[in-house]
């Protein structure tokens, strides 16, 4: 079945009922600016700089005349898009022609791929089927995208396909002479019937790739073991708009201007730099708070920033906080932050999850509602969105991530880099990042609402512990999760592919 996608492009209109009438793809390229690779050097030990520079030189030689293409489902609204922005910018700075294309899909296609996403996490999601009708729709949409891709991708190029949305492109691209790598950013530590169902659907397509990349060894399905697979965890860019250090006065000015925290006027700057080097300024927003009032100036903020995804368990965070207020200091306020659901095209569940959280908030007693705030950040300016997240994470007293399942969890890496104490579920890649008691606190059972509240309270009630864990968190990211390691691992894989 994996090779079938290369044929569907030719016969779609005549023989694929589910794909009948699918228009040609309007796949688009995302422009990525060039960032000098040397900029990372200030955070690296000399020996790491030497290895990075020598690897970059070898990659330039091996990839001369070739393009490294990345294909995913969205240009914004998630960790994959953020990582691509960073890695491609540094790759281009190293002299590699790296480019980024975004799929064109319809709502039914994205419902199917969201279903696969949930199943790979071990969750039934919407409970819908993955039968022949879904396979036909999936293949028809990707066949249309393949037509566009084949006009751009040349023999000898390398194509990185990201996540389930892209898997069925592998066979057609290989037929055209490209080297194809499928990169899976999601997974589950222990398989179940849901994960088996998802892998049964994906196996014919994934098997057609030259190589596959996963974030953790536990995520590799048994039938891929022995095939060319790599374990490459994600990384963080310390210079991105979301992660660059902010002066306290700038944090105050930003959150006040955005209408999120009732802070006094000051002399802080509202200006931020975008990835392309242009400057932006924080706008005055009157509608970012979906539920709750502006956060009081004297509140200590417990923050979770996530997509509105059931597996991120925003509802569980809200319920834990609201039902265990007696264990928390009187000045603790919960702020749940997600993207404007209209700005995330590949996640049809977002609005449902947000509205469910709003309904939970409405059911709270008035005195509890006053300490819970739901925020929807604008997606029309990616730079401003990232700057607002940066300010919120920098301002928070505790950052949490109570995911039920997690592929990796850059929403944990980000506050760790800022030196914030974190409380997070011991699932997926989170447990690789957080050393319990050294670089954060781990919740062993992500459904333990009382235990979650107790961990938050332990940080709010012990400033020394919070400072120690915040410092340990930053050093953990510096040692393991900066971009040099990520780029080197990619370069090594590409060199192996080109050697045959």
Is 335:375 a contact under the CB 8 Å cutoff?
yes
Give the H/E segment covering residue 159. Answer: strand 158-162
How many Å apart are CA 224 and CA 325, to the nearest integer? 47
Cα separation, 219 vs 198, in Å, equals 13
- 391-395: average pLDDT: 98
Q: For residue 1, is pLDDT > 60?
A: no
Q: pTM above 0.85?
A: yes
CA distance 46 to 188: 36
**CA-closest candidate to residue 468, choices 458, 479, 483, 480:** 458
Residue with tokens 């006094």: 264
Phi, psi dihedrals of residue 62, rounded to the nearest 5°: -65, -35
Q: What is d(CA 415, CA 430) in angstroms, rounded to the nearest whole number?
A: 13
Chain-wide mean pLDDT for the chain?
92
Smallest Cα–Cα separation from 396: which of 339, 456, 455?
Answer: 456
The residues with which 305 forms a beta bridge, in sequence order, are: 337
Contact 257, 498 (CB under 8 A): no
Q: Are strands 279-281 and 271-273 parallel, antiparallel or unpaired?
A: antiparallel
In angstroms, the Cα distances linking 244 to 101, 142, 387, 483 are 26, 37, 9, 14
Element (H, E) at 489: helix 483-498
Q: Over range 443-460, report the average pLDDT.
A: 98
Q: What is the mean pLDDT of residues 67-93?
A: 91
Diameter over CA atoms, the chain: 69
Mean pLDDT of 405-430: 96
- Which of 56, 36, 26 lies closest to 488 in space, CA to CA? 56
Q: What integer is the mean pLDDT of 316-323?
A: 98
Average pLDDT over residues 240-251: 96
Percent of the chain with pLDDT over 90: 87
C-alpha–C-alpha distance, residues 440 and 438, integer Å: 6
Q: Are 396 and 419 a contacting pair, CB within 8 Å?
A: no
| Cα–Cα–Cα angle for 495, 497, 500, rounded to 5 degrees | 110
Counting other chains too, the contacts that 6-12 makes at CB distance below 8 Å and 24 or more residues apart are 6/146, 6/171, 6/172, 6/175, 8/139, 8/140, 8/142, 8/143, 9/143, 9/144, 9/146, 9/147, 9/172, 12/140, 12/143, 12/144
Q: Which of 483, 493, 497 is nearest to 89 (CA)?
A: 483
418 pLDDT band, cuts 50/70/90, is: very high
- Residue 2: pLDDT band (50, 70, 90) is very low
3-state helix, strand, coil in the chain (%, to 5): 45, 15, 35
d(CA 362, CA 462): 32
Predicted local distance difference test score (pLDDT) of residue 345:
61
3-state secondary structure of 396: coil
β 229-231/98-102 pair status = unpaired
89 three-class SS:
helix
* Residue 302 bridge partners (DSSP): 334, 398
* Parallel, antiparallel or unpaired: strands 372-377 and 289-291: antiparallel
330-339 tens-digit pLDDT: 999 999 999 9
Minimum mean pLDDT among 187-191, 198-202, 291-295: which range? 187-191
Helices 463-480 and 449-460 meet at what angle, rounded to 10? 100
Please check the confidence at residue 7 and state whether its pLDDT lies above 70: no
**Residue ranges of domains in the chain, CATH in brackets:** 4-235+482-498 (3.40.50.2000), 248-480 (3.40.50.2000)
Tally of CA atoms within 13 A in the half-sphere of 415 that contains its CB: 33
Average pLDDT over residues 80-106: 94
Structure tokens at 190: 């222990």
């Amino acid at each position: 079945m994996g090779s079938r996608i290369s044929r569907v492009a030719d016969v779609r209109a005549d023989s694929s009922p589910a794909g009948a009438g699918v228009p040609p793809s309007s796949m688009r390229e995302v422009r990525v600016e060039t960032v000098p690779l040397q900029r990372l050097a200030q955070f690296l030990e000399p020996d790491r700089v030497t290895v990075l520079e020598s690897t970059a030189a070898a990659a330039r030689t091996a990839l001369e005349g070739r393009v490294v293409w990345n294909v995913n489902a969205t240009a914004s609204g998630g960790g994959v898009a953020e990582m691509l922005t960073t890695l491609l910018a540094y790759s281009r700075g190293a002299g590699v022609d790296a480019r980024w294309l975004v799929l064109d899909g319809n709502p039914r296609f994205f419902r199917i791929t969201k279903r696969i996403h949930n199943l790979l996490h071990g969750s039934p999601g919407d409970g819908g089927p993955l039968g022949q009708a879904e396979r036909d729709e999936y293949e028809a949409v990707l066949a249309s995208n393949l037509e566009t891709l084949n006009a751009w991708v040349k023999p000898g190029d390398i194509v990185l396909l990201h996540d389930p949305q892209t898997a069925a492109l592998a066979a057609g691209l290989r037929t055209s002479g490209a080297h194809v790598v499928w990169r899976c950013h999601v997974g589950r530590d222990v398989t179940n019937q849901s994960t088996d169902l998802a892998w049964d659907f994906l196996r014919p397509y994934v098997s057609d790739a030259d190589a596959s990349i996963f974030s953790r060894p536990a995520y590799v399905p048994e039938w891929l073991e022995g095939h060319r697979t790599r374990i490459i965890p994600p990384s963080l860019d310390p210079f991105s708009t979301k992660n660059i250090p902010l002066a306290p006065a700038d944090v105050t000015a930003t959150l006040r201007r955005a209408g999120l925290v009732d802070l006094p006027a000051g002399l802080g700057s509202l200006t931020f730099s975008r990835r392309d080097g242009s400057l932006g300024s924080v706008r005055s927003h009157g509608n970012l708070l979906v539920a709750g009032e502006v956060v009081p100036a004297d509140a200590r903020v417990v923050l979770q920033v996530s997509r509105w995804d059931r597996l991120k368990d925003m509802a569980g965070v809200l319920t834990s906080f609201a039902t265990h207020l007696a264990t928390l200091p009187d000045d603790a306020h919960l702020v749940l932050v997600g993207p404007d659901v209209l700005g995330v095209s590949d996640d049809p569940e977002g609005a449902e999850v947000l509205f469910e959280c709003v309904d939970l908030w409405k059911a709270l007693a008035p005195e509890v509602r006053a300490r819970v705030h739901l925020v929807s950040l604008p997606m029309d300016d990616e730079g401003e969105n990232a700057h607002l997240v940066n300010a919120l994470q920098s301002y928070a007293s505790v950052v949490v991530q109570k995911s039920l399942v997690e592929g990796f969890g850059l929403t944990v890496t980000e506050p760790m880099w800022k030196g914030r104490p974190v409380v997070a579920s011991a699932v997926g890649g989170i447990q690789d990042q957080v050393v319990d008691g050294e670089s954060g606190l781990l919740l062993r059972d992500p459904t333990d609402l009382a235990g979650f509240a107790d961990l938050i309270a332990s940080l709010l009630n012990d400033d020394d512990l919070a400072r120690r864990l915040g410092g340990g968190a930053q050093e953990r990211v510096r040692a393991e999760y900066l971009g040099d390691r990520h780029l080197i691992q990619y370069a090594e894989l590409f060199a192996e592919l080109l050697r045959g």
